[in-house]
A and B are shown apart, each in its own frame.
Chain A
């Protein structure tokens, strides 16, 4: 083991990075210690970088190894034997799960094509430069390779704390700094990319954050990584595999295994084999990727499989691409329920409009809402969530949306059991992958088919209208604002005072919001008053002035009393007349 010792300094020659590594180290252990299987935000941000990219994963698994080997050299400074042992198990098991995840992903990607490898190759450098723990990567990797070769040395594991403590004490400052950097998230600046799988065995989110510090050691790290994988017992060493293995940092359901790295490695050997045998299982692990706006080589990531015939994306110039993006440079998709009452069939599942934003190269999973999904996505802002529906006719992993560098959106069915229909045409027969089919604004998309007649909501198919890249979001133009101002003026005339706010939600009424104006000239958001109107329709008692109005009153009646009013405008008259009528009641 001492022979490893020299590697460490060369890898992590600079003291600052090493402390950096310490911080990461720290957070890992915190995560695994909490063991809830969920991401505690800040820590996670730190660690999670791995998600999209192979190097990261490497970093993780290897990192743990490095911990172990280090502890070897520092044995017996353990103060809290308890905590030390738990951390050990946690870390090691973590590596197990990560491996497993990676392999299944690998399978998936193999089925999809070369996404994985391209991803790894293209991004390895950038990714490395982005991780704060880059230097750590180096050191840990060297150690890792060593530890791989020394798999059978179990001796070190209980002594982790010595190293950990060192690290933590060294890195407290940095740690807090990086944490704050990672957690200052309002949604707009949420750390991208995100990568998660909805259905993996112990699913977890990895949220990555980017840091632009350049790392001189990246080359070294690469070399190390390759080395590690070539020595890995599985021979699945192409960089692709580990790319996305990242996610399971926190899930330590296996924590009871007080075994050491060897056993763990064996463990995931077998698991990998299992999954290799079962490619469909890998498919179920279709991952949800949301990349940031500045993602490199997004189109290569997507690995689009376009149909030979049919629609193909039009060439667009830079200006219109820019228009397709929101202020953060992300593309967007909005799905609204398509309620078609004209046919005799069921109207489909109702759901709140879904809006998702994603950078170029992103892949959004479409699936079923399950408890596991709920947990997995609870920590990330809704705009980056996968698209999930509470319907049993939607497969757990039904398909995915992809968005390319030009803001073109594609839909793909990944062997869903009851199909995906684009404008009433099924994308692919059952149990086959569909092509990536170009979506256009206004397309009608249907997931699954009604089951048991769709009488129960849970068995209804999902029909939705697709709107792309903010096309639904008209800005309030001058006309909109002027119209609202006119309504306000009208109210000032009739009610006497200007009421800015909706009295039900206490928020301002803004342009482009649906308004309900009662005959007594009070107004509310239609959204707020709707229930009240429906409750007693056609009678309506104004919540503000308690005057009772007849909403079915004939529109002709206003002409009778026209002579009473000398206001010119006809519209005005209607309102005024009605109010007069109500006032007498």
Chain B
């Protein structure tokens, strides 16, 4: 295994020393490129009071390549499919090496606050969302209750 680039070390240090509110990210002991992430659902969103587990992996080419992020907790969201994959531009085409783990996770948190059913990844969810937004939001709240309760 190649040595860890200085940038990743710096980012990890800064995540620890200056954490983002509502977000935690800890590198795995065995693989320092693998992070265990939790994101709190943003307030005034269907995901409020939920705590979502994610995994984040920094590929060898990082930061030239975007980190790979996936939801581990089930979530009812038009841009996140049942496997936890996330449809987010900065993770795909709009990635820029000036972005960081921190900014990516903030973007994901923002995505929770503003679902975009017009550019869906989970088509069924997006359809529900467009047809009947209030019931879809209720369902999202239910799922948050069911699956995203903070571990005590």
8 Å CB contact of B10 from A507, A528, A531: A507
Chain B residues, CB < 8 A from A495: none
Chain B residues, CB < 8 A from A504: 7, 63, 97-98
Bound complex: CA A505 to CA B4 (Å): 12
Chain A residues, CB < 8 A from B96: 541, 543-544, 546
A506 & B11 in contact (Cβ 8 Å cutoff): yes
Chain B residues, CB < 8 A from A532: 64, 97
Tell whether A503 is near chain B: CB-to-CB under 8 Å: yes
Bound complex: CA A506 to CA B7 (Å): 6
Bound complex: CA A504 to CA B100 (Å): 9
Chain A residues, CB < 8 A from B98: 503-504, 543-544
8 Å CB contact of A531 from B7, B64, B99, B100: B64
Bound complex: CA A297 to CA B19 (Å): 57
The SS class assigned to the A binding surface is loop
Tell whether B6 is near chain A: CB-to-CB under 8 Å: yes
Bound complex: CA A85 to CA B64 (Å): 56
Chain B residues, CB < 8 A from A544: 96, 98
Chain A residues, CB < 8 A from B63: 504
Chain B residues, CB < 8 A from A546: 94, 96
Interface centre among A503, A507, A531, A546 (most CB of B within 10 A): A503
CB distance from B103 to the nearest CB of A (A): 11
Specify the chain B residue showing the minimal Cβ separation from A544.
B98
CB distance from A509 to the nearest CB of B (A): 14
Bound complex: CA A443 to CA B6 (Å): 34
Bound complex: CA A360 to CA B5 (Å): 34
Bound complex: CA A541 to CA B98 (Å): 11
Chain B residues, CB < 8 A from A528: 97
Within 8 A of A (CB), among B110-144: none
What interface size band does chain A fall in? 10 to 19
- Interface size of B by CB at 8 A reads 13
Within 8 A of B (CB), among A523-558: 528, 531-532, 541, 543-544, 546
Bound complex: CA A531 to CA B10 (Å): 21
Task: Given A504-B63, A531-B64, A532-B64, answer yes or no on A543-B10 (Cβ-Cβ < 8 Å).
Answer: no
Chain A residues, CB < 8 A from B94: 546
Within 8 A of A (CB), among B57-85: 63-64
Specify the chain A residue showing the minimal Cβ separation from B64.
A531
Within 8 A of B (CB), among A216-236: none
Bound complex: CA A353 to CA B6 (Å): 19
Interface centre among A504, A506, A531, A544 (most CB of B within 10 A): A506
CB distance from A100 to the nearest CB of B (A): 35
Bound complex: CA A543 to CA B94 (Å): 9
Chain B residues, CB < 8 A from A506: 6-7, 10-11, 100
Chain A residues, CB < 8 A from B99: 543
Q: 1/0 per position for A75-117, CB-CB distance to B under 8 A? A: 0000000000000000000000000000000000000000000
Within 8 A of B (CB), among A487-514: 503-507
A503 & B97 in contact (Cβ 8 Å cutoff): yes
CB distance from A22 to the nearest CB of B (A): 37
Specify the chain B residue showing the minimal Cβ separation from A504.
B97
8 Å CB contact of A507 from B6, B64, B97, B100: B6
Bound complex: CA A504 to CA B98 (Å): 5
Bound complex: CA A110 to CA B79 (Å): 76
Chain B residues, CB < 8 A from A531: 64
Specify the chain A residue showing the minimal Cβ separation from B13.
A506
Specify the chain A residue showing the minimal Cβ separation from B14.
A506
Q: 1/0 per position for B7-24, CB-CB distance to A under 8 A? A: 100110000000000000
Bound complex: CA A543 to CA B7 (Å): 16
Chain A residues, CB < 8 A from B64: 531-532
Bound complex: CA A544 to CA B94 (Å): 12
Bound complex: CA A559 to CA B135 (Å): 61
Sorted from nearest, which 7 A-B pairs have the closest CB atoms? A543-B96, A503-B98, A543-B98, A506-B10, A544-B98, A504-B97, A543-B97
Q: List 8 contacting pairs A-B, 8 Å CB cutoff, sorted by A.
A: A505-B5, A506-B6, A506-B10, A506-B11, A506-B100, A507-B10, A528-B97, A543-B97
Known contacts A505-B6, A507-B7; 16 further A-B pairs (Cβ under 8 A): A503-B97, A503-B98, A504-B7, A504-B97, A504-B98, A505-B5, A506-B6, A506-B10, A507-B10, A532-B64, A532-B97, A541-B96, A543-B96, A543-B97, A543-B99, A546-B96
A-to-B contact residues, CB < 8 Å: 503-507, 528, 531-532, 541, 543-544, 546
B-to-A contact residues, CB < 8 Å: 5-7, 10-11, 63-64, 94, 96-100
